Amino acid sequence: MGEGGPRQIAFSPDDKFAYVDAEVHKIKVFDVATNALVDEWRYGGRIDEANEMVVDHTGRYLFVVDHSAGGDHADNLIVLRRAGR
Please report, for the chain, the start and end positions of each structural domain, with discontinuous segments joined by +.
8-81
Q: In this structure, is the dihedral angle defined by the CA atoms of residues 14, 25, 40 and 81, taken in order, positive or negative?
A: positive
**Does 67 score more than 90 pLDDT?**
no
**Does 3 score more than 70 pLDDT?**
no
More confident residue, 76 or 69: 76
Question: Looking at residues 20-38, what average pLDDT do you find?
Answer: 90
**Among 43, 35, 49, 44, CA closest to 2:** 49
Which of 17-21, 59-63, 68-72 comes out lowest in average pLDDT? 68-72
* pLDDT at residue 24, as a whole number: 77
